[in-house]
Amino acid sequence: MTTAATAAAAEATAPAGALASEATASEATEPRPVALVTGASRGIGRAAAIELAANGWDVAGWYRSNDDESAATAREVEARGGRYLGTRLDVGDEDAVRAAMREVRTGFDGPLRAVVVAAGITSDGFAGSMSADKFRRVIETNLVGAFFICRDALRAMRKTGGAIVLLSSTSGISGQPGQANYSASKGGINAMTQALAKEGAAAGIRVNAVAPGFTDTDMYRAMDSATRQSLVQRIPLGRVGEPEEVARAIRFLATDESSYITGQILAIDGGITA
């Protein structure tokens, strides 16, 4: 029988290389943490999925419609050593969100430790001529859908702790003309972030949001060149942001690097809200 003293003596006399090899083997078999990223097929969501994969995470990516774009995200994640589980769904569908969250919890070896809520839409127009359906559709996707995801994420991580990072916007800090629906949805995200941060703290779940300004995504590229030029002139740093710049902030808030930060709305806007 090996006593504790004998085991300790053996460890003390073992070659340093052997101990190092055992530690390396243990680390190699430890499962990667899992991040759920919604809106993962394009833009900031895709950049966040890639950034997390490059830093040791497996990724569950939810997307609304484009299978080819999701497959492209999967290739980028896998090229960085991560596993990718893509799921097509409408985040405004409560039952679909609940079912997909169950798949995330059972589809990986590692624990769910971060949720990035980046799915969102715009449908711009001046309020005087905006239909109720147009207003409601943006709120349902951007705010109600985000609530469904966060509610199920809080339940999923209540025993392990973790982080939720929501995608807000500078339009949620200062409402923009022609975006009453979008501004309202992102203002709601900001308030919900702070409320959920207080609710999740006891379970070790931090909740923060990033609020990008003008960023080089499909939404920005869809504008005509004159509009883009006029927007750039309003930015103190003199350029629009890149999705990767926002993704790095998301990764910071999703990991223990920001372990004492919760309930914050981080503007990433080149100084436009300064």
The tens digit of pLDDT for each residue in 172-206 reads: 998 888 899 999 999 999 999 999 999 999 999 99
What is the average per-residue pLDDT within 138-148? Answer: 96
The tens digit of pLDDT for each residue in 15-43 reads: 555 544 444 444 557 899 999 999 999 99
For the beta carbon of residue 158, count every other beta carbon within 10 angstroms: 14
Q: Give the pLDDT confidence score for residue 4 in this predicted structure.
A: 42
> Distance between CA 218 and CA 245 in Å, rounded?
16
Q: Give the pLDDT confidence score for residue 126 in this predicted structure.
A: 93
Cα-based distances in Å from 120 to 92, 166, 169, 185, 206? 10, 11, 11, 10, 21
The tens digit of pLDDT for each residue in 55-70 reads: 999 999 999 989 999 9
**How many CA atoms within 13 Å lie on the side-chain side of 13?**
5
Residue 112, beta-bridge partner list: 34
For the beta carbon of residue 54, count every other beta carbon within 10 angstroms: 16
Q: Give the pLDDT confidence score for residue 204 in this predicted structure.
A: 98
What is the average per-residue pLDDT within 203-226? Answer: 91
Lowest mean pLDDT among 217-231, 235-249, 250-264: 217-231
Q: Are 182 and 124 in contact (CB under 8 A)?
A: yes
pLDDT at 7 over 60: no
Q: Are 157 and 202 in contact (CB under 8 A)?
A: no
The tens digit of pLDDT for each residue in 82-127 reads: 999 999 999 999 999 999 999 999 999 999 999 999 999 888 889 9
What is the average per-residue pLDDT within 241-264? Answer: 98
Closest among 164, 172, 64, 49 to 117, alpha carbons compared: 164
pLDDT at 266 over 50: yes
- 32-268 fold: Rossmann fold (3.40.50)
Q: Give the pLDDT confidence score for residue 218 in this predicted structure.
A: 80
Residue that wins the pLDDT comparison between 226 and 236: 236
Q: Give the pLDDT confidence score for residue 19 in this predicted structure.
A: 46
Q: Give the pLDDT confidence score for residue 71 in this predicted structure.
A: 97
Residues marked active site are found at: 182
Q: Give the pLDDT confidence score for residue 15 in this predicted structure.
A: 54
Dihedral angle sign, alpha carbons of residues 170, 171, 174, 177: positive
Q: Give the pLDDT confidence score for residue 231 in this predicted structure.
A: 87
> Distance between CA 36 and CA 201 in Å, rounded?
20
Local structure of 240: helix, strand or coil: coil
What is the average per-residue pLDDT within 3-18? Answer: 47
Q: Give the pLDDT confidence score for residue 220 in this predicted structure.
A: 81
> Distance between CA 139 and CA 190 in Å, rounded?
14
Residue 36, beta-bridge partner list: 60, 115
Q: Give the pLDDT confidence score for residue 222 in this predicted structure.
A: 82
With bands split at pLDDT 50, 70 and 90, how would you rate the model's confidence at 2? very low
In this prediction the pTM is 0.87
